[in-house]
Amino acid sequence: MATLAAATSARTGIGPWVVPLLALAVFINYVDRGNLATAAPLIKGELALSSTQIGLLISAFFWTYTPGLVLSGWLADRFNAYHTLAAGLALWSVATLLSGFAGGFMALLVLRLVLGIGESAAFPCSSSLIARHVPSHRLGAANGLIIVGLSLGPAVGIFFGGLLMAELGWRGVFLLFGAVSLLWLVPWLAVTRRLSAAPAPAEGRGGPSFGAILRRPEIWGASLGHFSVNFGFYFIVSWMPLYLVQAQGYSLPQMATVGGLLYLLYAASSFLGGWASDRWIQAGGAPNRVRKTFFVATHALGAASLLACAVAPPAVAIACLFVTAMAFGAVGPHIFASSQTLAGPQAAGKWVGVQNGFANFAGILGPIATGVIVDRTGGFEGAFVLAAAMTLLGVVGWGLMIRKIEPVDWAET
């Protein structure tokens, strides 16, 4: 907790509550985006949808989320990250609430598109604020807390969502979660009122253009690495509920329990991964070596455990899913800490918007590919193999395409 307090204290210039509230926003972000996956077994039956249609609904979120990341990054760096995040959360909460009234495939599709626009504000805004105010040797803990929010969101969503759906139905859960999400605006606006009134730092207003960012080879390595993590992560987030129910024969409460445990392991691994990297750097480890060691080890472990899921018996496959979750959790803080280091405070919002935008093509392509594979083969084995191969690509991005993780000299660009 001392590390966490140091990462979020007043010495960062944003007070002790902003980073925890950013983590809470990301938590809400993932609760709301994961509702569809948790409800998929019920929605599929009630609305008579195919696995391919479920894949399209999951993918549709990313059709607007991906370009929205670039826009949100520009808004965060150029204008006001505090207000941009507040507006985004309000929009995605309303979209979640209205999904409870959807009468068919097209209505859900439109609301998933709106949800994607709103949720695109979370990571560019949080990265912009962290890069401006959190010291470099505390980036692991700060980003670890953000990834804890990312991982606990699906954990709470799948656990409580699954249990509540057994009582309230899927429509009631969408209504409840959407309404509760809006409550985050109260502490955020209260805590950031003074901070959001201040003008954006000069380096944010005069930072590098998108063209300058795209000319850097590091952005392409980071985007490929991030894409590979997202492919495996979104495979688990999007398809694990249906996999557990359809392939493993779990009930909704059983699915909720296993899924909740998986995300709790992801959360613990995220925080420990960020904390361990900070301690290593403070002990004299070169940040480049620390980050790259985590990248190579976690991508290799994640790919191996996903591949094992394709051939292992049911009980072992569940254990391999847990290992996969811990590998993805441990790498999470380093994705954003590396991006914030490379971009610097003058470009972190735009950089993360571009990187996350490219990375989230995994969310567009992956769910559709998985749905088609499951429909055509009648099982998930091929989908696990594909996810493992994509996860292994990250070693190329982080390990080979980025020569060194250090601040870019934008004056030379």
Q: Is residue 1 part of a domain?
A: no
Provide the pLDDT confidence category of residue 233 given band limits of 50, 70 and 90. Answer: confident
Per-residue confidence band for 3, with pLDDT thresholds at 50, 70 and 90: very low
**Residue 136 belongs to some domain of the structure:** yes
| Residue 164 belongs to some domain of the structure | yes
Which residue type, as a one-letter code, is found at position 345? P
- Overall average pLDDT of the 96-119 stretch: 94
Q: Is residue 3 part of a domain?
A: no
Please name the residue ranges forming H helices in 79-104: 81-99
The reported pLDDT for the residue numbered 245 is 84
User: Does residue 9 sit within a domain?
Assistant: no
The fraction of the chain above a pLDDT of 70, given in percent, is: 93
> What pLDDT sits at residue 413?
60
The CATH number of residue 370's host domain is 1.20.1250.20
Q: Is residue 405 part of a domain?
A: yes
| Number of neighbouring beta carbons within 10 Å of residue 74 | 19
The pLDDT assigned to 45 comes to 85
pTM of the model: 0.77
Instruction: Categorize the per-residue pLDDT at 198 as very low, low, confident or very high, splitting at 50, 70 and 90.
Output: low
The answer as to whether 298 is a domain residue is yes
| Distance (Å) of CA 81 to CA 7, 75, 88, 232, 348 | 19, 7, 10, 29, 11
CA distance 354 to 127: 12
Tens digits of residue pLDDT in 281-306: 888 888 899 999 999 999 999 999 99
How many structural domains does the chain have? 1
What is residue 16's predicted lDDT score, i.e. its pLDDT? 72
Q: Is 130 part of any domain? A: yes
Predicted confidence (pLDDT) at residue 235 exceeds the cutoff of 90: no
The boundaries of the domain holding residue 164 are 15-412
Residue 80 CA from chain centroid, whole number: 22
